[in-house]
Structure 1
Amino acid sequence: MNHLPLIIKREYLTKVKNKSFIVMTFLSPLIMIALIAVVVYLSQLNNDKQRTISVLDETGHLEGVFQNTENTTYTNLNDLDLEAAKALVKEREDYGLLHIAKVDSLEDISDNIKFYSEESPSLSIMSSLERKIEEQLKELKLRKDGVSIAMIESSETDIDIVQENFDGEKSSKEGNIIKLIFGGIAGYLLFMFIIIYGNMIMRSVIEEKTSRIIEVIISSVKPVQLMLGKIIGTSLAGITQFVIWVILGGVLMIVVSLILGINLSELQTPQQEMINQAMQSEGGQAFAQKVFIGLGNLPIVNLIIAFLFFFIGGYLLYSSLYAAIGAAVDNETDTQQFMLPILMPLILAVYVGVFTVIEDPHGTVSTVFSFIPLTSPVVMLMRIPFGVPLWQQGLSLLLLIGTFMFAVWFAAKIYRVGILMYGKKPTYKELFKWLKY
């Protein structure tokens, strides 16, 4: 392994000195921050828009329902008929006219409500109007039937079963959702890292093979050393790029916020406003308290250590397979027939994690797939927040490392023959023969 450090250094420097690598490393954060800034700026413009909605309530039952907000003003036109109200709203260029036609009973009001506007109204505005009218009509109907609203409200009971293990540690549904989010983010990062930088390793092998440089290199370096050097060197280049993205993105976000006066962390959509209002209520405060309890129950140290080991192990395993594919073919077009068997376990791991781990993190399916090396980096990372015994984590990691070593041997066999094969598209049968050489 004397040549391995030299190969790693060469591969790393070749990647980071590449013009396209440098351009994309610094250009990608600029593009992302610019897009986010534009979206936030346009959203703020939309949210700051002042709207005036005129209300013509011929029934008289909905007076006082529509209260002015920061960006929406309601005006009553009850002293006008419909045509006059339409003309006035159009002349003043109001946002729209809400008309509640006069009917004989409360039951008929819902079928006689119209909203007139010059353009299609906002979905959030219409949903807000409908919700307010529904609540008022429900209350009026209950009063008409002699039903006490206070008694109905007092009879409503919210059930929230307290979850606690036999050791006294409390948990909740909200805490389980937080655990799934943490595990899902870890699995998603691994998935994207493998896809992006695994392809980079594969293209690197194909480029050297087609340029015939590999014939000179292989005369003094063992295939397994060359392959490991490419995997580790490209991985370090990818980590360097990722770190630069994080640092540069954070700096640009702060600069954009200060210069343009845009708060990138607050994208106040109507939906978020509804969430904020709900959080300010008594139930919202209880929800927030459960969220903080869930965050406190997370095994942070275990998550960080396991993420590092499973992330590195999973990436090295799949990178060796990508390198083997690059050695077996002459161009990227020919790689398609070999990509599906590699991507399928990754896709399966994501689906198992999302649809099975949240339902039963310690069930048979979740447990089995957290031990299978091709799926364990994703599934195990999604199980750990729910509390996985250390012996299971250790056994899964040992299986992952053992499979990586086997994959290195397997890929080196293909690498040794494939890097010198030109002009022929290999089949699975030929790859199997290469293993015997």
Structure 2
Amino acid sequence: MSIISLIIKREFIAKVRNKSFVVMTFLSPLLFVAVAVFIGYLSSMKAETKRIAIHDETGLFASDFLKENKKHGEYKYLNLSEVSVNALKDSIVKENFAGLLVIPITNSEKELESKIQFISNNSPSISFIENTQDIISSKITKINFEKAKLDTVAIKKAKATVNIHLAKASGEESLKGLNEIKIFIGGAFGYLIMMFIIIYGNMVMRSVIEEKTNRIIEIIISSVKPFQLMIGKIIGTTLAGILQFMIWAIIGLGLMFAASAFFGVNVGPSARISPEVMESAQHQLSGSMQMYIAEVWNLPIASIIIGFIVYFIGGYFLYSSFYASIGAAVDNQTDSQQFLLPILTPLILSVYIGFFTVVNDPHGTVAVVFSMIPLTSPIVMLMRIPFGVPWWQITISVSLLFATFFLVVWFAAKIYRVGILMYGKKPTWKELYKWLKY
């Protein structure tokens, strides 16, 4: 058996036998499911209805607000126009009402637009203010139409509602929102890679720092080369991480289904939707849902899965070599903070580029360029693949990624070779550069 395979086996066994690894492997899914069930329970609870007092001196708007009581239960409007404003303000101070809407009498509707007040102890939400403004502006607009002797019924009938149907050049009908579905699929895989890199890259770094601090590293490198040790640590930690992820997925899905079946708790946002509404929506959207499912199956699923595996391996190995070098260069995790930001910056940048650029222009210059750059390609290219990427771009991107990986490993091995035997001194960027020349 080769030396690297022995190191891989040693690292893998050391990780999976660690008590914290075992505990977190089986405890994390329980925590995630408990949080999901708790969120589902909270979302199923009805929010407290907020009472809004209305003092309408014009007598024109109160009835429109009272109609809102039938639409939703979050706010309950009460017409208290006969009560003085000062008395209602006292009620606001005593928190008998969540707010007071004061609509005064003015000389004209134009003047009224800037005279309306909403009084409350706490700032109202933007959606509440916008809804209130819409109700009042719609009423004033209707009054203006009537004063101008315009036929409001005719105007309402004259309003056009345009619904653009999407279609492909082949003649097949397309659907709205497919871009969002594609970016969600690609983003989910890209986010998984980023989290894996951060979690298990740090694990590689901590392992190197621990062995260096305990002086075990001096004994190990007497039998193996630093490059072999670094590669073995990266691969061994990767296998342990993949095993942990698989256990999380199996246990997590099993517990979520069990919680939903045995306790009758809907997990996630669907808990807010009543069964009657869900049944009605299923009948109305069954045709559309079938089309969406068909469109999802028409995505390049094989390319997405293969791309995920390739970029997962390449991206993790590339960044893990950086983490291993940092672990070799420092004596404790506190000293490593100055070197982590340059590593995390490309990952964060790739997520922002993916969600703000790829979704709008997946084949644009920015998206294409950053899907080729090795430090950002594992995430950006995965977000582009669901939109359909030419094979030559994927080939170039993967080639650059693995070529950069081997180049970085070569440089990182130099830092690793010198750094693992350096003690008691906090390294600087200038010293790391010197180590590359040794």
* TM range, smaller chain: 0.7 to 0.9
Asked if residue 158 in structure 1 is aligned to residue 162 in structure 2, the reply is yes
Aligned to 2:343: 342
Give the counterpart letter for 1:408 in structure 2. V
Deviates more, 1:240-249 or 1:372-381: 240-249
Aligned to 1:225: 228
Aligned to 2:412: 411
Secondary structure class of the residue paired with 2:177: helix
Shift of 1:314: 0.7
In the alignment, is the contact (CA less than 8 A) between 1:174 and 1:290 conserved in 2?
no
CA-atom RMSD in angstroms: 4.0
Secondary structure class of the residue paired with 2:113: helix
Give the counterpart letter for 1:22 in structure 2. V
Shift of 1:139: 2.3
Aligned to 2:9: 9
Shift of 1:29: 4.0
CA distance in 1, matches of 2:58, 2:287: 40
Aligned to 2:247: 244
Asked if residue 132 in structure 1 is aligned to residue 135 in structure 2, the reply is yes
CA distance in 2, matches of 1:244, 1:201: 20
CA distance in 1, matches of 2:221, 2:378: 32
Query: CA-to-partner distance for each residue in 1:102-153, whole Å, 9 max, x for gaps?
Result: 4443334434444456766565544433332222222232232233334444
CA distance in 2, matches of 1:362, 1:193: 27
CA distance in 2, matches of 1:73, 1:352: 43
Number of residue pairs aligned between Structure 1 and Structure 2: 427
In the alignment, is the contact (CA less than 8 A) between 2:41 and 2:271 conserved in 1?
no
Give 1:178-193 correspondences, 5 Å limit.
Answer: 178-193=181-196
Q: 1:159 to 1:213 in 2, by over 3 A?
A: same
Aligned to 1:382: 383
Shift of 1:343: 3.0
Query: CA-to-partner distance for each residue in 1:51-94, whole Å, 9 max, x for gaps?
Result: 4445443323235423233525444446x343698499789945
Q: 1:397 to 1:134 in 2, by over 3 A?
A: same
Give the counterpart letter for 1:220 in structure 2. S
Secondary structure class of the residue paired with 1:5: helix
Aligned to 2:61: 62
TM-score by length of 1: 0.80
Secondary structure class of the residue paired with 2:8: helix
Asked if residue 204 in structure 1 is aligned to residue 204 in structure 2, the reply is no
CA distance in 1, matches of 2:179, 2:293: 12
Aligned to 2:23: 23
CA distance in 2, matches of 1:364, 1:331: 42
Give the counterpart letter for 1:9 in structure 2. K
Give the counterpart letter for 2:59 in structure 1. G
Give the counterpart letter for 2:230 in structure 1. M
Query: CA-to-partner distance for each residue in 1:237-260, whole Å, 9 max, x for gaps?
Result: 222333333344444545655677
In the alignment, is the contact (CA less than 8 A) between 1:54 and 1:89 conserved in 2?
no
CA distance in 1, matches of 2:52, 2:91: 9
Aligned to 2:394: 393
In the alignment, is the contact (CA less than 8 A) between 1:357 and 1:382 conserved in 2?
yes
Give 1:257-406 correspondences, 5 Å limit.
Answer: 262-266=265-269, 295=296, 297-406=298-407
Deviates more, 1:411-420 or 1:284-293: 284-293
In the alignment, is the contact (CA less than 8 A) between 1:352 and 1:366 conserved in 2?
yes
TM-score by length of 2: 0.80
Query: Percent sequence identity over matched residues?
Result: 52
CA distance in 1, matches of 2:209, 2:89: 71
Deviates more, 1:28-37 or 1:227-236: 28-37
CA distance in 2, matches of 1:179, 1:160: 21
Q: 1:366 to 1:55 in 2, by over 3 A?
A: closer
CA distance in 1, matches of 2:359, 2:119: 46
In the alignment, is the contact (CA less than 8 A) between 1:56 and 1:100 conserved in 2?
yes
CA distance in 2, matches of 1:88, 1:354: 49
Structure 1 unaligned regions, length at least 5? none
